[in-house]
Structure 1
Amino acid sequence: MPPAPSTSPRLVLPTLLGRTGDIGLLFSGCAARPAGAESAAVASMVVKTPAKINLFLKVLGRRPDGYHELDSLMAPVEVFDRLRLEFPRAHGLCLVCPGHPELEGPDNLALRAADAFFRATGRAPRLRLHLRKNIPLAAGLGGGSSDAGATLRALNRHFGRPLAPRRLAKLALRLGADVPFFLRGGPCRAGGVGERLRPVRLPPFWVVLAFAPFGLSTREVFERFDRRSRSGKGNKGKNRLTERRDSARERPSGGGWSCERLAENLVNDLQPIGEALHPEIGRVRLELLKAGAAGASMSGSGPTVFGLFFDGAAAARSLRALRREGGWTYLVARGVAKEPADETAT
C-alpha cells in the first residue's frame, strides 16, 4: 500500500489480526501544526533504536506454517535510528520520517506497534512519532523491527507498564520475527522463528560494517534458500552450530563466548544466496578478512557485510586500509553488550 499524502484527513491501518480498523490517523497533524495550536509542554520520549547483526545464522528447516526454524546469535550494534514519541492531548496516531516519505504509511512497523499497544490496552491513541533513519533499509540489520520494539517498550513504560512482559512479547512476535529480540535488548541466542530468546555473554567487540548501495528482499532470499534446499544443495537442518551442552556455558553466568569461539563460528546459511544474487557481497567479505578481521559474514538476509574485531583501534585501522567496493559505505561500530538506557522523558 503506498504512503498516504499528508493532506489525507483519515487513513486506514490494518490490525494485528488482519482486519481493517479505521482509527483516523491524522497525518496532517504530524506534517504541519499551526503555531500556538498546542502547548509546547507536550510529554515526549526520545529513544535510540540500534541495528543488529547475526553473528551466526543457521536455517534449520521450513515449518508447516511457512516460517523457518532458526538458530542464531544476534547482537545489537551502535548504529541507531532516533525515535521521538510525543503524547499530545488530541486523538490521533501518526508518523513522520524526514527524507523517507515512503516510510510514513500504514505498513511502518513502528506505527503498527503503536496501534497494537493501544488496542491491547484499550486506550485511545494519542501519539506522534518522529523517526530519523540512520539504519539502512532492507539491509539485514533489523531497522524497522528495532523501531517497533522500541515503540512497544517506550509506550509500556510511559503508561505505567500496563502490559506484562509476556503479553508485550506476544504483540512483538505478531509484528515480526526480529521484534521480540529488540524488545528484550542485549545479545541473545535466538531459536524458533526468532521468538525463543536466551541472553548470552559476549566479549567486547567491534565491527566494520559495509553497507551496500542496494537492498535485498528477505522473502526472496528465503524463497531461493528453500529452492536450493529442495535441490539438495542447501542445509537440511541437521548440523546445529553448537550442541545443547554448550547452552549453559554461553550464558552470562557460565562465562559466555570467547573471542576465538565467536570468530570461528561466524556462519550464515543465507550468505550463498546473497552472494549468488550479488557477487560483490563475497568480494566485500574477502576484503574485510584481508584487512585483518577475525571473521567476516553477511548479516541476516543481507546485503550488509561485517568484519569482526576485538579491538577498536584495529577496527579503525582496517577501515582506513581496506580496499572498498564501489558504491558501498563503510563505518566502524561497537557491539552493544547490554540494553542501553536510551529512553528519556522530556
Structure 2
Amino acid sequence: MRISVKAPAKINLTLDVLSKRADGYHEVEMVMTTVDLADRVDLTLLESDEIHLDCSASFVPVDERNHAYKAAKLLQERYGVQKGVRMYIDKQIPVAAGLGGGSSDAAAALRGLNMLWGLDLSLDELASIGAEIGSDVPFCVYGGTAFAQGRGEIVTPLGTPAPCWVVLAKPSIGVSTADVYGNLRVDKIGEHPQTEVMLQAIEAQDFWLMCHSLCNVLEEVTLSRYAQVRQIKELMVESGADGVLMSGSGPTVFALVQKQARVQRIYNALRGFVKEVYAVRMLGGSEAEVLA
C-alpha cells in the first residue's frame, strides 16, 4: 500500500509574542494560513517495523533529526504499531525559511500514517501528538487558516481569507529561530499586532483590512540583523505589493497582491535580487486531505 500526502507551506499574517514562559518557550498569538507551495510526502507500507526516510533535498537530515521521521517513530511507539514505513519527501518548500516546511512534513506524515497503519485517530488527536514534535505541527495537521495560541499548539480554525496572490522571496541565508527569539526583548516590542482586527478581516474576507493588519514582532530582530531581509521587504513595497511581511522568524518575506498583472512585476524585481522567488495563491481552506 502506498499513499501521498500534500504538505503545504504556511505564512504568518500576524505573530505576537506576549511573554517568556517558565518552560523556556514564548507565549504567542499567531494567525497563520496555508499557501499553494507544498512538499509531497509519499508513504509505502512495510511489513517489518523499520522506518526509512529519503528526501529529494540532499541537505535535509533523514534520521531522528527529521520531524517526519520523529512523527513516524512517535506514532509507532505510542500505539505499538508492528508495521513500518518507507517515506519519501519531495521537497519544494525552502528549508529554514519561516514557512513551516519541516512541521508540514511531520503533519503530513501523521495524517498519512494514521491511514496507512489503520490507527483511526482524529485530527485533534494527531494535532496533540504533533505538539510533541514542534510548535507549528498542530496547525499544519489542520491546515487552512487558524489562530494559534500558547506556544502554537492551541489551534482555533478560522474561515477562508480573501483570495489573493502571494509572492514569496527567501534570501540565501539561514536564520535560527532560537537566536531570533533569544534576541527579542518582549518588554521592548514597539508595535504589537491588532490580532482582533486581523480576525475580523478574515471573517469578512476583507483583503485591504487584512493587508493593513499584517504584523510580526520578530521582524524588528531579524531585519536589524540581516540587511538582505530588510532590502527584500523594501523592494516588495517599492514594486507595488499591497501588503508585505516577514513570515515566522524569517528570512522569507511575502507580498500579498490582489491584481495578477502586478504579480509578474514584483516577481521580476525580486528575481534580480534573490534566487528563491515563488508566486503562488493563498489556499486558506483546509488542505489536510490525504491523496491516496
Distance 1:148 1:182 in 2: 8
Q: Secondary structure at the match of 1:203?
A: coil
Question: Deviation string for 1:137-172 (max 9, x for gaps)?
Answer: 111000000000011111112334432333322211
Aligned ranges for residues 13-92 of structure 1 at < 5 Å?
A: 43-92=1-50
Aligned to 1:276: 224
Q: Aligned partners of 1:46, 1:153: CA distance in 2, in Å?
A: 10
User: Offset at 1:195?
Assistant: 1.5
Partner SS, residue 145 of structure 1 = helix
After TM superposition, where is structure 1 displaced by more than 4 Å over at least 4 residues in a row? Answer: none
Query: Aligned equivalents of 2:122 and 2:288: distance in 1?
Result: 20
Residue 291 of structure 2 corresponds to 344
Which stretch of structure 1 is more off in the superposition, 292-301 or 199-208? 199-208
1: distance between equivalents of 2:20 and 2:125?
26
Q: Which amino acid aligns with 2:209?
A: R
1:203 aligns with 2:162: yes
Q: Could you tell me which amino acid in structure 1 is paired with residue 231 of structure 2?
A: R
Please say if 1:233 is aligned against 2:204. no
Query: Displacement, 1:326?
Result: 3.6
Residue 292 in structure 1 maps to residue 240 in structure 2: yes
| Distance across 2 between alignment mates of 1:293 and 1:127 | 44
CA deviation profile, 1:241-273 (whole Å, cap 9, x unmatched): 134x985x567xxx4341111000111100111
Deviation at 1:312, TM superposition (A): 3.2
Which letter maps to 1:288? M
The 1:119–1:312 alpha-carbon spacing in structure 2 relative to 1, beyond 3 Å, is farther
1:220 paired with 2:188, answer no
Work out which of the two has the higher radius of gyration on C-alpha atoms and give 1 or 2.
1
- Residues 58 and 241, structure 1, Cα contact 8 Å, conserved in 2: no
> Residue type matched to 1:233 in 2?
K
In structure 1, distance between residues paired with 2:87 and 2:80: 19
Q: How does 1:1-346 map to 2 (within 5 A)?
A: 43-201=1-159, 202-225=161-184, 228-229=185-186, 232-234=187-189, 239=192, 241-243=194-196, 249=200, 255-320=203-268, 322=269, 324=271, 326-340=273-287, 342-345=289-292
Shift of 1:235: 5.2
Q: Aligned equivalents of 1:324 and 1:155: distance in 2?
A: 38
Gaps of at least 5 residues in structure 1 are: 1-42
Amino acid at match of 2:217: D
Is this contact kept in 2: 1:60–1:235, CA < 8 A? no
1:191 CA drift (Å): 1.3
Alpha-carbon separation, structure 2, partners of 1:334 and 1:291: 18
User: Is the 2:198–2:214 contact (alpha carbons within 8 Å) kept by the matching residues of 1?
Assistant: no
Between the two proteins, what is the percent identity of the paired residues? 35
Q: What per-residue deviation string (whole Å, max 9, x for no partner) do you get for residues 280-337 of structure 1?
A: 21111011011111111110000001111123343233223x2556444212011112
**RMSD in angstroms over aligned alpha carbons?**
2.1
In the alignment, the residues of structure 2 paired with residue 98 and residue 246 of structure 1 have an alpha-carbon distance, to the nearest angstrom, of 37
Question: Distance between the aligned counterparts of 1:219 and 1:114, measured in 2?
Answer: 25
Task: Write the letter of the residue equivalent to 1:289.
Answer: V
For residues 230 and 124 of structure 2, what CA distance do their matches in structure 1 show?
A: 40
Tell me how far apart the structure 2 counterparts of residues 187 and 242 of structure 1 sit (CA, whole Å): 14
- Pick which of 180-189 and 197-206 moved more: 197-206
Distance 1:175 1:196 in 2: 14
Q: Which amino acid aligns with 1:207?
A: V
